[in-house]
């Protein structure tokens, strides 16, 4: 049993008594396109193709759940990423899938009236709406380093995230504090879970996040009526369950001991491993190699630059200098070595986070997300 | 007289707040404030200068390439590194398409709703919309059936009663002047532009691995190999894909964006006399046509126009730039009233209130996280308009032709450029020029590859052990929103000091030590306000700058009492 959008207890499946699927056709989307989208979604969610009809059924019944998008210490990179989402596209998200009632960068309303729209959601849909947070939350000096409408970010987050069904922290800033939290963290920036421990938070880190992982999460929620399983950093396993290094197209070159030694050299031209150029793929859990970016066009290591580890907590400090190869590598071309490096680094970042009390907070959080697995 | 507050101003990037005073239906005074601070310049101290671009890139996720470019340029300048021609061309293509995509998103998704009333589109006749569309462009999506479909989609959406991001806006405001058919056409293109921008920015993914925040920049060149005989490098297949995307880019700009811009502008010509501002225009120039680093080799020229005088273009000397913090939440060790050059810049934040939650800022004291940059103690406007005015003044052939063409079509003279409408038009003209120029740069890259030049990185000073003990440099760039500069000091292979003066620092600047207003503040003076409860006109002028921070607008009673906060739609 789990709580659904309407706030009642259900077994997780949509109610079969609801009217037959017509919603999408009414909105001018052909059945064929719709099923294509559902198939893409089941792939993104790492589900067998048989799940496509189930996703289709769930989406047909959707009454556009309310979503509000908050921006704090952010660069709007995740908002821009959302504009690049391909299935569904941002237009479909806005017009057909969700009711995005507040989003500073795209909304037509401004000022007091914009804030009123937000207040209306928190008041009238308490416990039922979704929140997306982009950007970190400064805690130092009573939170004066980020104000919207004269209120501090932490004040807004406590109210809006605290009353939501769930909060999705998009990008590494909202998830773990990100770049504002990099040493010496001048503003005392933290992620949402640390700022509002009582909120149900799921993290979609990345700098910015891959929008296809966000749409996949939304579809997962709409399909199963609950949040997906996450790892110890609050990241859904369907997108952060594998190390970059293990799915990397340059991996055979690592195993063969073929490395890029200098930018633009023979190895660089032929797609050799970027490990010696500082690639952090062996210590980073993210689906970049398979999901890729911008309609699956490319991804950093594929294009020729090392991974910077942007989906890992505190990566601005733990993964820098970016061009220094990961430490303590006794020999190249030995698969098990890189595995150990990755595991070691993960333990280090996990320890740093335990210090903030984040992991324990997530684990004892009202049974949601439903279960946890160690990465 | 009344005071109203708009907080936040939406459809911009970041957190900006403006307080203003209204008298007799016009803005009498205004204050611009940014309400967010992250301190990235402090975070950079002590780090590897080669990493700096990854950090500074996160200044902004909208103009997502610009701080990476300025950063690698400043490190290369400090270390005296000349990059290969191919790397320069690839950077130019990345910068060019960034500008084009950003300008189109700004027009349709951030600015258009200041001029376009979506709800009026429901009343449009699709057949008349089709005729209107066909009369201004040969864009093929112009049938009555197509516009009927768009209108039907909009209608179904409105009938759900849940307008999402389109709720609570200024719909029906008397300052909206487009006929329903033009509104419907604009709504259709709002949606088309969403699809288009996502597609064409794949050029960044091909050359830069992803967008936002492309990741193939490196000090000394680019981290994307060139090799026509490899599937892991930039080969002819990928170049052909870029070429086809550039064709799509140009098609949309020429057949949709520019016709729409001209059609909308024709209904709002009075805005060519509103929103002028400080009248000084600064452009660093960009698009190096070789790797010499010489300003005269820039495709968009460097220069300054003072007091709207297009007859003389003044040279730029970066030593004349200084930042003041007399009205910003920082303090200088040298004390108040002093301007500091960015190489000696300090980011010592000191918040002086008000304590949140607050209604109004203390505009007599410190009121913004933005510093006040000045050139020879003068405020400067930066952006597409500044670039075009400098190029126009300098006699740039293509720019002069394009600008004169648009002015003729609108039946106005060059003085119309110093305005809200001028800023919006300049953005379009620049997009048109870049869309035409980009394929030529791709041709150059192709020719180099064909000629056997696959050089992409200068590795001579990649290793920090080959660096001098101390070095300092600056990197200049024209971001979509204007002149951008990064300044770095390096000591013992580490960053000693790093300062950036970004376009919105110039434009959103608060008052300086002498009390001189910044460009937003000055541009708002005398703006007519039809309904002080719905100051749509303020949004028009602020959005015409394409702000890159989050803001809010307050209108303050000149008498200074009874600060009543009025609801603003």
CB contact under 8 A, B225 and A104: no
Regarding whether A53 and A135 lie in a shared domain, the answer is yes
Phi and psi at residue B381, to the nearest 5°:
-90, 140
Q: Which two tokens stand for residue B238?
A: 């990928």
Residue B484: other Cβ atoms inside 10 A:
29
Regarding whether A165 and A260 lie in a shared domain, the answer is no
Q: Which two tokens stand for residue B536?
A: 């749509």
The region of weakest confidence among A54-63, A81-90, B488-497, B512-521 is A54-63
Regarding whether A271 and A205 lie in a shared domain, the answer is no
Using CA of residue A71, residue A74, residue A75, residue A76, what is the dihedral sign?
Answer: negative
Contacts for B19 with CB less than 8 Å, ≥ 6 apart? B5, B30, B31, B33, B360, B361, B363, B367, B552, B553, B554, B555, B556
In angstroms, the CA B340 to CA B358 distance is 31
Q: Quickly state the pLDDT bin for A188 (edges 50, 70, 90).
A: very high
Give the distance from CA A31 to its chain's centroid.
29
User: Is residue A362 in a domain?
Assistant: no
Looking at beta carbons, which residues of chain A come within 8 Å of B85? none
Cα dihedral: B446, B451, B452, B457 (round 10): -60
Regarding whether A178 and A111 lie in a shared domain, the answer is yes
Question: Which of A90, A101, A186 is closest, CB to CB, to B349?
Answer: A186
Residues shown for chain B: 569
Mean pLDDT of all residues in B94-102:
97
For position B157, what pLDDT does the model report?
85
**Residues B348, B332 contacting (CB under 8 angstroms):** yes
**Residues A281, A307 contacting (CB under 8 angstroms):** yes
Residue B234 has, within 13 A of its CA and on its CB side, a CA count of 31
Regarding whether A222 and A340 lie in a shared domain, the answer is no
Mean pLDDT of all residues in A126-143:
93
For B403-429, the DSSP string reads HHHHHHHHT--GGGGSSHHHHHHHHHH
pTM of this structure = 0.87
User: Is residue A360 in a domain?
Assistant: no
Regarding whether A333 and A190 lie in a shared domain, the answer is no
Regarding whether A310 and A280 lie in a shared domain, the answer is yes
The pLDDT tens digits of the residues spanning A261-306 come to 999 999 999 999 999 999 999 999 999 999 999 999 999 999 999 9
Q: Which residue has the higher pLDDT, A111 or B342?
A: B342
Question: Which of A151, A179, A185 is closest, CB to CB, to B356?
Answer: A151
Regarding whether A278 and A130 lie in a shared domain, the answer is no
Regarding whether A350 and A299 lie in a shared domain, the answer is yes
Regarding whether A23 and A153 lie in a shared domain, the answer is yes
Mean pLDDT of all residues in B249-262:
97
Contacts for A156 with CB less than 8 Å, ≥ 6 apart? A70, A148
The pLDDT tens digits of the residues spanning B313-365 come to 999 998 999 999 999 988 888 888 999 898 887 778 888 878 878 788 888 99
Beta strand residue intervals within B235-305, DSSP E: 281-283, 286-288, 298-300, 303-305
Whether A198 shows a pLDDT value over 80: the answer reads yes
In angstroms, the CA B2 to CA B24 distance is 10
User: Is residue A234 in a domain?
Assistant: no
Helix axes B420-450, B384-393, angle to 10 degrees: 80
Regarding whether A193 and A271 lie in a shared domain, the answer is no
Structural domains in chain A (count): 2
Contacts for B135 with CB less than 8 Å, ≥ 6 apart? none
User: Is residue A152 in a domain?
Assistant: yes
Q: How many helices (DSSP H) and strands (DSSP E) are in chain A?
A: 19, 11
From A76, which residue of chain B is nearest by alpha-carbon distance?
B61
Beta strand residue intervals within A197-353, DSSP E: 201-204
Mean pLDDT of all residues in A129-149:
90
Q: Quickly state the pLDDT bin for A6 (edges 50, 70, 90).
A: very low
Indicate the domain borders of chain B: 1-36+528-569
B195 at interface of A, judged by CB pairs closer than 8 A: yes
B15, B67, B91, B327: which one is catalytic? B67
Q: Are strands B482-491 and B494-501 parallel, antiparallel or unpaired?
A: antiparallel
For position A374, what pLDDT does the model report?
37
Nearest of B445, B480, B473 to residue B286 by alpha carbon: B480
Regarding whether A132 and A222 lie in a shared domain, the answer is yes
The pLDDT tens digits of the residues spanning A12-28 come to 333 333 333 344 555 55
In angstroms, the CA A161 to CA A126 distance is 10
Using CA of residue A152, residue A155, residue A159, residue A164, what is the dihedral sign?
Answer: positive
Query: Which range marks the domain in which residue A334 is found?
Result: 244-354
Looking at beta carbons, which residues of chain B come within 8 Å of A110? 6, 8-11, 539, 568-569
For position A328, what pLDDT does the model report?
55
Coil, helix or strand at residue A269: helix
B13, B76, B346, B381: which one is catalytic? B13
Whether A363 shows a pLDDT value over 80: the answer reads no
Q: Are strands B303-305 and B281-283 parallel, antiparallel or unpaired?
A: antiparallel
In angstroms, the CA B328 to CA B16 distance is 13
- CATH code of residue A95: 3.40.50.700
């Amino acid at each position: 049993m789990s709580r659904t959008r309407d706030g009642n207890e259900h077994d997780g499946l949509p109610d079969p008594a609801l009217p037959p699927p017509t919603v999408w056709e009414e909105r001018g989307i052909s059945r064929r396109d719709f099923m294509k989208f559902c198939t893409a979604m089941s792939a993104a969610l790492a589900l067998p193709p048989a799940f496509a009809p189930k996703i289709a059924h769930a989406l047909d019944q959707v009454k556009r759940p309310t979503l509000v998008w908050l921006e704090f210490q952010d660069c709007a990179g995740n908002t821009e990423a959302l504009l690049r989402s391909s299935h569904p596209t941002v237009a479909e998200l806005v017009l057909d899938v969700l009711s995005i009632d507040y989003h500073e960068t795209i909304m037509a309303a401004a000022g007091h009236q914009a804030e009123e729209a937000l207040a209306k959601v928190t008041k009238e849909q308490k416990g039922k709406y979704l929140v997306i947070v982009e950007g970190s939350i400064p805690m130092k000096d009573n939170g004066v380093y980020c104000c919207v409408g004269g209120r501090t970010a932490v004040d807004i987050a406590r109210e809006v995230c605290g009353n939501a069904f769930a909060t999705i922290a998009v990008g590494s800033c909202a998830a773990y504090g990100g770049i504002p939290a990099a040493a010496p963290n001048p503003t005392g920036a933290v992620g949402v879970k640390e700022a509002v421990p009582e909120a149900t938070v799921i993290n979609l880190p990345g700098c910015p996040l891959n929008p296809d992982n966000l749409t996949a999460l939304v579809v997962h929620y709409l399909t199963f009526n609950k949040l997906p399983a996450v790892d110890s950093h609050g990241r859904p396993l369907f997108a952060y369950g594998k190390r970059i290094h293990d799915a990397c197209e340059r991996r055979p070159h690592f195993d063969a001991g073929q490395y890029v030694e200098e930018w633009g050299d023979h190895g660089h031209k032929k797609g050799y491993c970027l490990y010696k150029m500082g690639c952090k793929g062996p210590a980073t859990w993210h689906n970049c190699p398979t999901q890729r970016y911008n309609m699956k066009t490319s991804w950093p290591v594929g294009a020729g630059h090392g991974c910077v580890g942007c989906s890992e907590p505190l990566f601005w400090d733990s993964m820098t200098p970016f061009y220094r190869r990961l430490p303590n590598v006794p020999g190249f071309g030995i698969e098990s070595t890189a595995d150990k490096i990755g595991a070691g680094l993960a333990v280090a970042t996990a320890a740093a986070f335990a210090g903030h009390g984040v992991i324990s907070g997530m684990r004892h959080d009202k049974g949601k997300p439903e279960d946890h697995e160690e990465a | 007289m009344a005071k109203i507050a708009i907080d936040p101003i939406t459809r911009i990037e970041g957190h900006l707040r403006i307080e203003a005073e209204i008298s007799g239906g016009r803005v009498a005074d205004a204050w611009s404030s940014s309400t967010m601070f992250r301190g990235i310049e402090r975070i950079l101290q002590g780090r590897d200068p080669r990493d700096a671009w990854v950090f500074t890139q996160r200044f902004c996720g909208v103009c997502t390439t610009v701080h990476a470019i300025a950063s690698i340029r400043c490190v290369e300048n400090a270390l005296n590194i000349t990059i290969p021609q191919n790397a320069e061309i690839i950077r130019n293509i990345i910068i060019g398409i960034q500008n084009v995509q950003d300008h189109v998103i700004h027009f349709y998704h951030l600015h258009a709703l200041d001029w376009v009333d979506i709800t009026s589109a429901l009343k449009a006749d699709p057949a008349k919309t089709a005729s209107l569309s066909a009369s201004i462009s040969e864009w093929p999506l112009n049938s009555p059936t197509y516009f009927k479909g768009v209108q039907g989609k909009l209608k179904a959406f409105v009938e759900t009663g849940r307008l999402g991001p389109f709720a609570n806006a200024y719909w029906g405001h008397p300052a909206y002047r487009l006929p329903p058919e033009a509104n419907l056409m604009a709504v259709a293109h709002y949606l088309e532009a969403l699809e288009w921008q996502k597609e064409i920015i794949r050029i960044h993914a091909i050359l830069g691995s992803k967008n936002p925040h492309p990741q193939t920049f490196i000090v000394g060149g680019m981290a994307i190999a060139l090799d026509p005989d490899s599937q892991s490098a930039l080969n002819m297949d990928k170049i052909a894909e870029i070429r086809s995307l550039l064709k799509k880019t140009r098609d949309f700009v020429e057949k949709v964006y520019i016709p729409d811009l001209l059609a909308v502008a024709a209904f709002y010509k009075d805005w060519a006399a509103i929103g002028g501002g400080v009248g000084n225009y600064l452009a660093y120039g960009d698009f190096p046509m070789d790797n010499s680093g010489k300003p005269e080799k820039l495709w968009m020229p460097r220069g300054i126009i003072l007091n709207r005088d297009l007859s003389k273009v003044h040279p730029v000397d970066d030593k004349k730039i200084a930042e003041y913090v007399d009205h910003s939440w920082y303090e200088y060790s040298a004390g108040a009233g002093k301007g500091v050059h960015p190489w000696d810049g300090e980011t010592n934040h000191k918040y002086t209130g008000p304590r949140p939650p607050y209604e109004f800022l203390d505009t007599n004291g410190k009121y913004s996280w933005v510093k006040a940059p000045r050139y020879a103690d003068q405020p400067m406007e930066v952006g597409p308009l500044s670039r075009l005015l400098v190029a126009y003044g300098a006699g740039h052939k293509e720019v002069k032709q394009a600008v004169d063409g648009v002015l003729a079509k609108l039946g106005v003279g060059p003085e119309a450029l110093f305005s809200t409408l001028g800023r919006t038009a300049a953005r379009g003209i620049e997009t048109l020029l870049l869309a035409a120029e980009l394929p030529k740069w791709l041709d150059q890259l192709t020719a180099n590859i064909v000629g056997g030049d696959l050089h992409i990185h200068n590795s001579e000073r990649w290793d920090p052990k080959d660096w001098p003990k101390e070095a300092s440099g600056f990197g200049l760039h024209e971001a979509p929103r204007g002149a951008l500069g990064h300044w770095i000091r390096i000591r013992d292979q580490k960053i000693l000091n790093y300062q950036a003066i970004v376009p919105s620092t110039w434009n959103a600047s608060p008052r300086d030590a002498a009390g001189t207003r910044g460009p937003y503040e000055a541009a708002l003076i005398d703006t007519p306000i039809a309904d002080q409860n719905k100051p749509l006109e303020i949004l028009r002028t602020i959005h015409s700058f394409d702000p890159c921070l989050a803001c809010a607008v307050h209108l303050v009673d000149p008498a200074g009492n009874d600060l009543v906060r009025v609801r603003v739609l």
